[in-house]
A = this chain, B = another copy of it.
Amino acid sequence: MPVTASGKGPAGRAATLADVARAAGVSLATASKALNGRPDVGQATRLRVTQVAADLAFAPNELARSLSSGRTGSVGLLTDDLEGRFALPVMIGAEDALGEAETVALLANSRGRQDLEQRHLTVLLGRRIDGLLLVGKGPEQREPLTLPAGIAAVYAYAPSSDPGDLSVVCDHHGSGVLATEHLISLGRRRIAHLGGPLEDHAIGRLAARARARGTVDALQAHGLPVVAGAPLHGDWLEQWGWEATDRLLDSEEVDGLVCGNDQIARGAIDLLLHRGLRVPEDVAVIGFDNAPQMSSLGRLPQSTIDMDLYNVGRTAARALLNPADWTRGRHALPGHLVVRASTAS
């Protein structure tokens, strides 16, 4: 039987394993083993089968494989908030790592709604995913999910409140230290911290607190004062950065500002320039998050701590794929310093 040039099976439909077996003159079982690299197949046979499979452009039906093998090679990628700028880079990192492992990601977005999360979960489980990656929108912990036995789960960015679960998160405290050490290494000695909100239900309050503590700890370690006595906390906006800096300058001498995020840093920088001060000569300013439209593309590119969310996603996906290599509990990943004009001397 001649091989169809179009790479199709006999009837014009896509070639199946049975077509391959027939064309290669072997049984279904042998064809399957040969193609899956099983050891117990003759060298010549294997060659013939792979050749025929290639000729027929054979693409195995993964549904059928999954059904008989019991593994689907797919995982659910379930997020709280696809819009937020934190969940997304995590998803991207996860998708990349999954893709490398030939694992398919089933995307689901619960938009913060419990009922939707439950519905999506049902659908995903019906699809027999091998595991679940939960990507949260903020650093606050979330309720763990109850899953059928055999379905592994990893929590990314927002950790599970159950310490027995595996969570991969950002090290906000370490990043606060990093940012502050950077200003200190530049010779700054009058450093203040303009942080985000601490209110009970404010999104990101844990990050605001941990980053501020990082600053305090770093200053203390160097025997330096916290200018203004303690970190100042407002909200995550430019406006707060502008106002806080304006007030700060009226009462304190400052040569370095650690701002809770890039927005606050932007507001601070605008105010400093507005008051005729030079950045970074008079006051060096650093933020957090490496927000694309904010920190690098503005008129005065801003130094920042990149929280490496991509890496959080990547790492979480790897942990999901190889749970044996990972201990339970929270794994906090460090960010890295990005130096731009607002601190470059």
Q: A residues near B, CB below 8 A? A: 14, 59-64, 66-67, 72, 74, 77, 82-83, 85, 88-89, 91-92, 95-96, 99, 102, 104-109, 116, 120, 122-128, 148, 237-239, 242, 263, 267, 270, 291-294, 297-299
Contact = CB atoms under 8 A, between A and B. Distances in A.
Contact of A299 (B67, B77, B239, B291): B239
Contacts of A60: 126
B61 A128 contact: yes
Given A263-B293, A293-B263, A82 B63 contact: no
A298 B238 contact: yes
Nearest to A84: B292
Contact of A126 (B59, B108, B267): B59
Contact of A67 (B64, B77, B92): B64
A148 B88 CA distance: 31
Contacts of A237: 297
Contact of A127 (B62, B83, B128): B62
A299 B267 contact: yes
B72 A82 contact: no
A99 B120 contact: yes
Contacts of A126: 59-62
A63 B77 CA distance: 18
Contacts of A125: 59
A6 B197 CA distance: 44
A167 B242 CA distance: 44
B108 A293 contact: no
B102 A91 contact: no
A96 B116 CA distance: 11
